Amino acid sequence: MKKVLVAAALAAGIMVASPVSAGAFMTYCDWDPLVLIVTPAGHIVPVYDSVWTSSPLDLALPLESYTVKRVYDANGHPHTAVDMTISVPTGLLFRYSTYDEVTTGLLGSGTVLAHASGNSGTPVHLKFTLSQP
């Protein structure tokens, strides 16, 4: 009985201490800055630009810019089309994968307006439409 307990404890210790490759289930939100979008009609709409990576060592500090233009729906009501470009600089010669999203709430909460996967060093375009003119 004592040998079984020692073997089980040893197996559990090896499982906990062994390195695990990062999967889709393990992501880290490195940065979530507030971006104030000014619509063509002058309204200010706050959104959040979340950048997720598979490792806390991949410091994904986003640089974002955006363009807006007025669009109209089928009934002729004005809306704002946004094209947000998110660029994450590459760290120390190594590229890494990112998952970028624009939401109405902090840390991916609220409504997801747009999302896309990308890589550091390559700009990602996220396009969405706001109901504010």
* Interval 47-73: pLDDT, tens: 998 888 887 777 777 889 999 999 999
CA 60 to CA 9: how far, in whole Å?
38
In this prediction, what percent of the chain has a pLDDT beyond 90?
44
pLDDT at 54: 81
pLDDT beyond 90 at 95: no
Nearest CA-CA partner of 30 in 48, 56, 8: 56
pLDDT in tens, 69-93: 999 999 999 999 999 999 988 877 6
pLDDT beyond 50 at 16: no
CA 40 to CA 78: how far, in whole Å?
10
Ramachandran region, residue 40 (left: φ > 0; alpha: ψ -120 to 50; beta: rest): alpha
Among 4-8, 83-87, 126-130, name the one with the lowest average pLDDT.
4-8
Please, are residues 93 and 51 in contact by the beta-carbon 8 Å criterion?
no
pLDDT at 26: 57
Please, are residues 15 and 27 in contact by the beta-carbon 8 Å criterion?
no
pLDDT at 9: 52
Contacts of 127 (CB under 8 A, 6+ apart): 81, 82, 83, 84, 114
State pTM to two decimals.
0.72
Provide the token pair at 26: 């393990």
